[in-house]
Copies of this chain bind each other. A is one copy, B any other.
Amino acid sequence: MKAIEGGVTAAKGYKAAGTSAGIKKNGTMDMALIVSEVPCVAAGTFTTNVVKAAPVKWDQDIVYNHPYAQAIICNSGVANACTGAEGYGYCKQTAEAAAKILGIAADSVLVASTGVIGQQIPIDKITAGVEKLAPMVLPTLEGGTLAAQAIMTTDTVKKEVAVMVEIGGKEVTIGGCCKGSGMIHPNMCTMLGFVTTDIDITKELLQKALSASIRDTFNMVSVDGDTSTNDTVLLLANGMAGNEKITEENDDYRKFCDALNEVNTWLAKAIAGDGEGATALFEVKIVGAESKEQAVTLAKSVVTSNLTKAAIYGHDANWGRILCAMGYSGAQFDPEKVDLFFESEAGKLQIIENGVACDYSEEEATRILSEPAVTALADIKMGDATATAWGCDLTYEYVKINADYRS
């Protein structure tokens, strides 16, 4: 497996474009189109929020009930959430407009939105945007980059990645882009991820590979613990790599899963490190757990602890907060067996041994915690299960961003 340039257009047969359809007040790009030359099997994972945006419901119907998908149309600026039947109708109109100009079926067009909750989307601007985008799509890396930029709200950097892996003697490519929660306008906290691949695989195994990968990647990211109404990750596979079709969980399947994890992990960490107002990527690793579930519960509890995140911002080795967050996570463990380490480019330092503070240097700890990516590693000595969660520090900027009026 090797990393290569590009994103959603890195794999064979995909084209993409981004443009400004006038949805965002500031005139920046706010619509993206990703389209495959041929129909794809599609997999998706969606927000668990009881309050689901209209596009989530539209995509769930396509992913769960239709054999193929061929295009993804995405707008930023308005989330089309809490918009009732009218909002769902706009998803249908958007898909129909794209289907017509692309010459494909409306029920093969996935839609996604991110932005302010509770407003109806400006459907005329959306359909005009679709007609503008269709002739613009490019098979080049540039096309993918434009799409990656167009779905940004106020992420500070575009997020795209691609890898190539040889499967059954063929070069298979997986590329993706995503947007996270570097946001100025409140409510734009949606996480969207679009991943494309040219592998030939059954729809069932594609979904299985995505669902398994999401558990350890996108689902382990937390910027503020607020699960959006729009969170969506879509994975399209168009089979153009020409590999022998994957129909069972064989070595080829496992190779694909590893490559998919590579892409999703990169995208997930990119979202965490670019969290609202973040100055640091905060990684929490739990090792020695008796079950995966226990490790996940502990890792997520620490990575979402406001007190811990504020301490990371302060470069403060405030280990008591980490043990405290593990303690209220709901998972059972023996605090007096916990070893805790801080780790970064600047080094690794043990802070606690068996639940009690080591005689460590606060200065060295602060030096380690002053890097742009820091890790807290806790060993609870109960078994072999591990989990890693990614978040960011809690900063003045986070509050400033989210206290601002919607504009």
Contact = CB atoms under 8 A, between A and B. Distances in A.
Interface of A: 48-52, 79, 81-84, 116-119, 186-187, 189, 224-229, 305-307, 310-311, 313-314, 316, 318-321, 323-328, 331-333, 335-336, 352, 355-357, 394-396, 398-406
Contacts of A331: 50
A379 to B, nearest CB: 16
Contact of A326 (B50, B306, B355): B50
A367 to B, nearest CB: 13
B394 A311 contact: no
Contact of A306 (B118, B226, B313): B226
Contact of A117 (B324, B333, B396, B402): B324
Contact of A399 (B82, B316, B333, B398): B398
A186 B325 CA distance: 14
Nearest to A116: B320
A302 to B, nearest CB: 11
Contacts of A51: 323-324, 326-327, 335
A323 B82 contact: yes
Given A118-B357, A324-B228, A355-B82, A396 B402 contact: no
Given A83-B356, A396-B396, A403 B116 contact: no
Nearest to A336: B84
A310 B401 CA distance: 9
Q: Which of A313, A323, A401 has the most CB of B within 10 A?
A: A323
Given A49-B328, A117-B324, A118-B357, A225 B306 contact: yes
A118 B321 CA distance: 10
Q: From DSSP, what is the main secondary structure of chain A's interface residues? A: loop
B226 A81 contact: no
Given A224-B307, A316-B405, 4 more contacts: A49-B324, A50-B331, A83-B356, A187-B320
A254 to B, nearest CB: 33
B321 A406 contact: no
Q: Which of A82, A357, A400 has the most CB of B within 10 A?
A: A82
Nearest to A335: B51
25 contacts: A49-B324, A50-B327, A50-B328, A50-B335, A51-B323, A79-B320, A117-B320, A118-B356, A118-B357, A186-B307, A186-B310, A186-B321, A224-B306, A224-B307, A225-B306, A226-B307, A226-B321, A226-B325, A226-B328, A229-B320, A229-B327, A311-B402, A313-B399, A316-B404, A318-B406
A405 B49 CA distance: 37
Contacts of A187: 307, 318, 320-321, 324
A19 to B, nearest CB: 26
Nearest 8 interchain pairs by C-beta: A117-B320, A51-B327, A314-B403, A310-B402, A227-B328, A49-B327, A50-B327, A224-B306
A356 B326 contact: no
Contacts of A224: 306-307
Contacts of A50: 326-328, 331-333, 335
